[in-house]
Amino acid sequence: MDINSGQQASDLSAQVGPQANVKVWAIGGGKGGVGKSLVTANVSICLALMGYKVVTIDLDLGGANLHTCLGVPIPEKTLSDYLSKKAKSLKELLTPTPINNLSIISGAQDDVGIANLKHMQKTKILGKLSELDADFVLLDLGAGTTFNTLDFFISADQGILTALPEPTSIENTYRFIKSVYHRKLKMAEDLLEIGPLIDQAMNAKMNQSATPADLINRVIEINPQMGHKLKNEISRFQPKLIINQVRTQADIDIGFSMKIICRKYFGINLDYIGYLEYDATVWQSVKKRRPLLMEFPNSGLVANFDRIVHRLLNN
Ligand SMILES: Nc1ncnc2c1ncn2[C@@H]1O[C@H](COP(=O)(O)OP(=O)(O)O)[C@@H](O)[C@H]1O
Ligand SMILES: [Mg+2]
């Protein structure tokens, strides 16, 4: 069971972790095996090679393997030490990687599981990210849609989704977006104190095919001022999308269709920031336990990652 109730969504808006100059990017969505760790590792490497100071954190608690993508053995200290108070600060958990400017904080190796993080622990981690000596902190969120995962995704400066060009993965991605949407709606509801207004809009006769976007429009009809505030709040949610393991133009185009569907159904702007080709160098580098971008600097994926990182930096 998830110990965090939906009621706690409201205090996130006050807590919103990182401030200062540390930019937090979270990589999540979908099931396992869609390339979240690959993206986290290689986007981190790109940024580090550009001269930024980067800390990458494996929040795939229970299934931590980001270290392998970065070519380091299991770090000695992990988030478990922090959560059990053996380590006093996140700084103590930093493990260097073979890449200059890039360190990793490893996920717990026991079966803590992100769903079992207590609300306080999540808040504590989020609050401490800004104290890290870094330009960028990247979070590998792992799979799933527990409240904790959603909250890390929502609190980040940029939330990045990775999907494969296959029906199950696309469905999972929509499911994730829907969960974040509902979490955002709940937060906005508490923040703007418009719970009754939303209930009223929901109870109004809406036809079977009414979408979340229709709901917001209904709220606007009932109370234009609050409705627009709510719409603004929701429109600040602009997740990024990467389609991984593409083999054809049709695969690439899936990202554009998903963007259109998200706009129509949720009224949100899904930002399709690029694709990654299917490339045998990925498993070859995993097998060698070497970072892909370091082992195969001439692979087609390097150009793919370069484009994605520039899109992210220009946001
Ligand atoms: N673009 C790609 N080309 C070829 N294989 C890939 C690609 N992306 C991911 N893979 C394979 O899929 C596996 C899962 O990727 P990973 O990043 O660990 O997924 P996740 O973190 O989402 O569970 C990797 O071990 C790799 O072998
Ligand atoms: Mg992973």
For the domain bounded by 14-163+279-313, which CATH number is listed? 3.40.50.300
The ligand placed nearest to the CA atom of residue 242 is 1
Q: Is 25:43 a contact under the CB 8 Å cutoff?
A: yes
Question: To the nearest whole percent, how much of the chain has pLDDT over 90?
Answer: 51
Residue identified by tokens 């829907």 is 178
Which residue type, as a one-letter code, is found at position 168? T
pLDDT classification of 8: cutoffs 50, 70, 90 = very low
Task: Supply the residue whose CA is at minimum distance from atom 16 of ligand 1.
Answer: 35
Q: Does the pLDDT at position 132 exceed 90?
A: yes
Q: What is the pLDDT of residues 237-247, one digit of tens each?
A: 899 999 999 99
**Of residues 268 and 139, which shows the higher confidence score?**
139
pLDDT classification of 19: cutoffs 50, 70, 90 = very low
pLDDT classification of 234: cutoffs 50, 70, 90 = confident
Is the CB of 32 inside a 6 Å radius of any atom of ligand 1?
A: yes
Q: Does the pLDDT at position 86 exceed 80?
A: yes
Beta bridge partners of 272: 241
Task: Supply the residue whose CA is at minimum distance from atom 5 of ligand 1.
Answer: 282
Q: What would the mean pLDDT of 107-125 be, rounded to a whole number?
A: 75
Looking at every residue in the chain, the average pLDDT score rounds to 87
Ligand 1 centroid to residue 289 C-alpha, Å = 13
- pLDDT, residue 2, reads 37
Q: How far is CA 291 from CA 45, 111, 131, 222, in A?
A: 8, 26, 27, 54
Residue identified by tokens 């799933």 is 144
Chain centroid to Cα 70, Å, comes to 19
- pLDDT, residue 202, reads 80
Is the CB of 98 inside a 6 Å radius of any atom of ligand 1?
A: no
Closest to 268 (Cα-Cα) out of 292, 225, 239, 289:
239
Q: Does the pLDDT at position 35 exceed 70?
A: yes
Residue identified by tokens 């996140």 is 90
Which atom of ligand 1 is closest in space to residue 38's alpha carbon?
17
Is the CB of 279 inside a 6 Å radius of any atom of ligand 1?
A: yes
Q: What is the pLDDT of residues 100-110, one digit of tens each?
A: 999 999 987 66
- pLDDT, residue 315, reads 81
Which residue type, as a one-letter code, is found at position 94? L
Which residue type, as a one-letter code, is found at position 269? N
Q: What would the mean pLDDT of 8-14 be, rounded to a whole number?
A: 43
One-character DSSP codes across the chain? -----GGGGGHHHHH----TT-EEEEEE-S-TTSSHHHHHHHHHHHHHHTT--EEEEE--TTS--HHHHTT-PPPSSBHHHHHTTSSSSGGGG-EE-SSTTEEEEBPPSSS--GGGS-HHHHHHHHHHGGGSS-SEEEEE--S---HHHHHHHHHSSEEEEEE-SSHHHHHHHHHHHHHHHHHHHHHHHHHHT-HHHHHHHHHS---TT--HHHHHHHHHHH-HHHHHHHHHHHHT---EEEEEEE-SHHHHHHHHHHHHHHHHHH----EEEEEEE--THHHHHHHHT--HHHH-TTSHHHHHHHHHHHHHHT-
Is the CB of 29 inside a 6 Å radius of any atom of ligand 1?
A: no
Q: What is the largest CA-CA distance in the chain?
A: 60
Q: What is the pLDDT of residues 205-227, one digit of tens each?
A: 666 677 888 888 889 999 999 99
- pLDDT, residue 6, reads 40
Q: Does the pLDDT at position 167 exceed 80?
A: yes
Which residues line ion ligand 2, judged by CB < 5 Å?
A: 36-37, 60
Q: Does the pLDDT at position 31 exceed 90?
A: no
Is the CB of 224 inside a 6 Å radius of any atom of ligand 1?
A: no
- pLDDT, residue 206, reads 65
Pocket test for ligand 1, best of 68, 149, 279, 282 (most atoms within 8 A of CB): 282
The burial of 19, by beta-carbon neighbours within 10 Å (0-12 exposed, 13-18 middle, 19 or more buried), is given as exposed
Length of the chain: 315
The burial of 255, by beta-carbon neighbours within 10 Å (0-12 exposed, 13-18 middle, 19 or more buried), is given as buried
Q: What would the mean pLDDT of 266-274 be, rounded to a whole number?
A: 93
Region of poorest pLDDT, from 61-75, 81-95, 121-135, 160-174 = 61-75
pLDDT classification of 1: cutoffs 50, 70, 90 = very low
Task: Supply the residue whose CA is at minimum distance from atom 26 of ligand 1.
Answer: 283
What whole-number distance in Å separates Cα of residue 93 and Cα of residue 88?
9
Closest to 150 (Cα-Cα) out of 274, 12, 55, 263:
12
Q: Are strands 271-277 and 240-246 parallel, antiparallel or unpaired?
A: parallel
Q: Does the pLDDT at position 305 exceed 80?
A: yes
What whole-number distance in Å separates Cα of residue 303 and Cα of residue 19?
31
Q: Does the pLDDT at position 75 exceed 50?
A: yes
Is the CB of 36 inside a 6 Å radius of any atom of ligand 1?
A: yes
Ligand 2 centroid to residue 237 C-alpha, Å = 24
Beta bridge partners of 271: 240
Q: Does the pLDDT at position 96 exceed 90?
A: yes
- pLDDT, residue 137, reads 98
Ligand 1 centroid to residue 35 C-alpha, Å = 4
The ligand placed nearest to the CA atom of residue 247 is 1
